[in-house]
Amino acid sequence: MNPSSFCAYGAEQTLAAVEQLEQVGQMRPLLNEVERARRAAVRLQACLTLFAPCFPPLRIAFWKRRLRRLIRALNALSDHLHLMASIQAGSRLHLRLQQRIENLQEKAQQAWERLHREHIPNEIRGLAKRRQARGKLQEADDTLKEYARARWRELARVNLKGEPAGPAAQSKLPFNSHPVEVCWGRWQLMVEVAKMLAPLLQEELPMQTLQAHYRELSKQRFRARAVELLMQLKEAERALTLHYQGHLRGFRRIEREFDQWIQHFQSEMSDLPDLSDLPDEPNKAD
């Protein structure tokens, strides 16, 4: 099967993803901006996964390692910003979250700058343009569709653990047994992959099911992350109080605030911030 048309399509998608990432500048701790940067990084990661056969494998592995560093930093920053949006301003917990966010903002900025210091966006852009020039993109021809279909099935088998990948999957795509963080990352990747393949495969992809399960996983993951972060912050506050005061009498009141929020996020009925990152930004290429 000749992948030239598929690779030309992939080069087009990859170039658009690189340009979207390049629009990220100074990493400000604003939720909308962080989510935009995170989506751009995830979209480029999905391009490098879906169109991996079109690029040198060693370069793909290197690019994805650097992207994962950036995505981890942006995930952490996004989690803290979502959590802080729920907490009353002026409280001790809100202050501690702000302090953490400042540190995470710096880490995300460093990861973004390292990506550019190593000229990774330029390298991806150069190879994608070369691949685009070699291949001839034909509008959804049979060869292009067949190659796209084969890549979808291969990636679905790995990331969705063999669940149905076609129209029959619209009704049910159960979660696999991996921890929620791993599942969330894989389903997030597959949603992006499906978006890019949708113009080629149209009704063949279980888009609604993928998005519904991804939203549910996002809620599960955020509850777990919020509880984990709150417990970390509570223990850090306890250690700080003990270090400076030599006792924990003043900590009891602060502890109640932390415990109330921990119980809140442990409840499946708790209100959550809007975690949906599915709608595309304007001018996003699909």
Residue 161's pLDDT is 74
- Using the predicted structure, report yes or no on whether residue 163 has a pLDDT greater than 60: no
Rounded CA Rg of the chain: 21
pLDDT in tens, 5-51: 899 999 999 999 999 999 887 788 889 999 999 999 999 999 999 99
- Indicate the average pLDDT of the chain: 86
Indicate if the alpha-carbon torsion angle 267, 207, 210, 71 is positive or negative. Answer: negative
pLDDT tens-digit series, residues 223-237 = 999 999 999 999 998
CA 111 to chain centre: 15
The alpha-helical segments, DSSP class H, found in 136-179 are 142-159
- Per-residue pLDDT at 102: 95
Query: Which three-class secondary structure state does DSSP give residue 272?
Result: coil
Q: What is the pLDDT of residue 141?
A: 74
For residues 87 and 94, is the Cβ–Cβ distance under 8 A? yes
pLDDT tens, position by position, 122-156:
999 999 999 888 876 555 577 889 999 999 999 99
Query: Is residue 53 exposed (0-12), middle (13-18) or buried (19+ Cβ within 10 Å)?
Result: middle
pLDDT grade, residue 273 (50/70/90)? low
CA distance 4 to 235: 56
Of residues 154 and 277, the one with the higher pLDDT is 154
Q: Out of 11-25, 99-113, 114-128, 156-170, which region has the weakest mean confidence (pLDDT)? A: 156-170
Assess whether pLDDT exceeds 70 at residue 158: yes
